[in-house]
Amino acid sequence: MNNKKLLISLLTVGMTLGTAWAIRGQFGHEHGAAWAGSIGTIAILLFAKRQDWFSKAFQIIVSGAMGWGIGGVMSYGLVVGYGRDTEFVNVYYGLLSLFVIGGLYGFIGGGLFGLSLSNSNKNSIPWHQLLVEMVVGALLFYFFIIVQYEWLMTPPRDESWAGVLGMAAALTWFMFRTKQYSALRVALFAGLGGGFGFAFGNFLQVLGHVSEIKFNFWNVMEYSLGFFGGIGMAYGTFTSHWEDTTEQTYSKQWFPMIMLVLIIPFTMWQQNFRMDRLEKTITPLLTASDQAIELSVRWDSLLLILFAGIYWLNVHAKPKSLEYEDIKKFFIGHFALYMLLSIIITGAFLSTYRIEQYLYVLNFVIIIYLLSKAEVDFENKSLSWNTYAKNFGIVLAFIAILAYIAANSHDEIKGAHKRFGEEIPLEKP
């Protein structure tokens, strides 16, 4: 494999999912994660340039979106606080917990994405069966881990991570049982990347706070998760063997198209563009309270979503074989809309107080430029469990070093929490 080509492709996909995941920070939950995940998967398809994948592109994209979106149910606000403590045991626990949470994001996102790459008329994935198994896995793991054994990660916060872990376990068993080893490889590397990225991002967030630089370092943590998760998913894809898949009939693209351009965006709008939130973000940026502007932000954003959705459905209304340019145009439009909605909801069009919003635009421009040079050679590498275990151990050891540095880099800071030991409330300034 040409190492330069591989490096450019990995960095570009990492920047893509990193930027999208940072944008996701304005929206949160499953819908925001799903939209971000869809953007990362499209970037991989554009580098792959495989016509058999283009023919079922929207099915692949929505699978990646749903996979990354599942993790959106997990709570990690308190876990981040453990990483801001001054005792090594609490900081390491916090970073390891974020490693688990980020790993679950990437594992399920990469796993469902990988399965959709392998799916064909000759090798059809029984999605309905997999869905049932994952739901059962979620219920069983949550019952035994949380209800029965009370192994709580973030008390008193929601412990949905255990249910997501059950989904990941069921997905793993399914891929083993059906010999979907390439998909499993993508899942493992995406999980390793996402887990490391979340832990490393928390480390960067702590150091950023200590530096007292005026910047949104929470967003840096989110970018880190997406960046390394995207690199892992891309590496797993480009270094695995994939059979040529039979082209899917065009009618099967309608449901994923509607999910991608209408259902996910509308859900995100309904959950985020509420008047109470807009009053808190938009009003402080105005010289006086102006409800007309807030109403305009609310309803104009919906019109943007509907216009974009109807446009894409109309473009692909007639059956045709999807080509590289079709996917690239959708990528640019889908990504740009996500970015624009972030700029709107933060009020960055009224004030420059959210500088990271403009960095999204810069990332977007660089990504589009790098895509113009998109080319990658696939290489078939087998899944070496010994090598993966060594890499896994190295990552855990490196996270321990990060935890030691973070714990000794500051005194008590705002937002710190203790998982072990007595919680000492900080004095109010």
pLDDT of residue 59: 92
User: Considering the chain, what percentage of its residues have pLDDT values greater than 90?
Assistant: 70
Query: pLDDT category, 154, cuts 50, 70, 90?
Result: confident
Does the pLDDT of residue 425 top 90, yes or no? no
Question: For the ranges 110-119, 226-235, 289-298, which has the lowest average pLDDT?
Answer: 289-298
Does the pLDDT of residue 422 top 70, yes or no? no
pLDDT of residue 1: 55
Residue 312 · residue 333 · CB < 8 Å? yes
> Which amino acid, one-letter code, is at 258?
I
Question: For the ranges 60-69, 308-317, 337-346, 383-392, which has the lowest average pLDDT?
Answer: 383-392
| pLDDT mean over 97-112 | 97
Count of C-beta atoms within a 10 Å radius of residue 286: 13
The model's pTM: 0.93
pLDDT of residue 250: 53
Q: How far apart are CA 177 and CA 138, in angstroms?
A: 19
| pLDDT mean over 222-238 | 97
> Which amino acid, one-letter code, is at 30?
E
Q: List the one residue out of 357, 325, 333 whose CA is nearest residue 344.
A: 357
pLDDT of residue 163: 97
Does the pLDDT of residue 205 top 70, yes or no? yes
What are 115-147's pLDDT values in tens digits? 999 988 888 899 999 999 999 999 999 999 999
| pLDDT mean over 274-288 | 82
Only one residue has tokens 């059809």, namely: 124
Q: How far apart are CA 352 and CA 359, in angstroms?
A: 11
Residue 304 · residue 340 · CB < 8 Å? yes
pLDDT of residue 109: 97
What are 12-58's pLDDT values in tens digits? 999 999 999 999 989 988 999 999 999 999 999 999 999 999 989 99
Question: For the ranges 143-152, 196-205, 380-389, which has the lowest average pLDDT?
Answer: 380-389
pLDDT of residue 352: 84
Query: pLDDT category, 385, cuts 50, 70, 90?
Result: confident
User: Between vectors from CA 110 to CA 337 and to CA 161, what angle results, nearest 5°?
Assistant: 90
The percent helix, strand, coil of the chain (3-state, each to 5) is 75, 0, 25
Q: How far apart are CA 384 and CA 366, in angstroms?
A: 34
Please state the separation of Cα 366 from the chain's center in Å.
20
| pLDDT mean over 362-366 | 96
User: Considering the chain, what percentage of its residues have pLDDT values greater than 70?
Assistant: 95
Q: How far apart are CA 67 and CA 113, in angstroms?
A: 7
Question: For the ranges 34-38, 253-257, 362-366, which has the lowest average pLDDT?
Answer: 253-257
pLDDT of residue 280: 86
Q: How far apart are CA 279 and CA 262, in angstroms?
A: 26
Calculate Rg over the CA atoms of the chain.
21
> Which amino acid, one-letter code, is at 18?
G
What average pLDDT is seen over the chain? 91
> Which amino acid, one-letter code, is at 136?
V
pLDDT of residue 261: 95
Q: How far apart are CA 89 and CA 151, in angstroms?
A: 17
Does the pLDDT of residue 424 top 70, yes or no? no
pLDDT of residue 161: 96
Does the pLDDT of residue 399 top 50, yes or no? yes
Does the pLDDT of residue 252 top 80, yes or no? no
**Phi then psi dihedrals of residue 2, to 5 deg:** -70, 110
